Amino acid sequence: MSPAGPLKTPCRATPQWRFRVCIQGEHGRSLFFSSFTHAASPGDELATAKRTRFLLVEDDIPTLLADYRGDQRDPSGR
């Protein structure tokens, strides 16, 4: 301990963001990442597998990144 008190770690100059990948309505299955790049790949894979939309939500404003819903009709044409 220094004479002035305990040493403190200085604040980081850049903000520390966390990116969450989840399925809306499914609680307890979120994945967290420290960068958009690391979150985007598993998010895109999940959206592709679930055949759904992939959104980025920032400050409660959604941005559509991809739409994998495709044609919902029967592939046989019926």
- C-alpha 61, offset from chain centre: 14
Tens digits of residue pLDDT in 49-66: 999 999 998 888 999 999
Q: What is the token pair recorded at 26?
A: 């499914």
Q: Which residue has the higher pLDDT, 28 or 4?
A: 28
Comparing C-alpha atoms, which of 26, 25, 58 is closest to residue 39? 58
Residue 32 has pLDDT above 60, yes or no: yes
pTM: 0.63
DSSP state of 67: E
First to last CA, the chain: 76
pLDDT the model gives residue 40: 92
2 bridge partner residues:
5
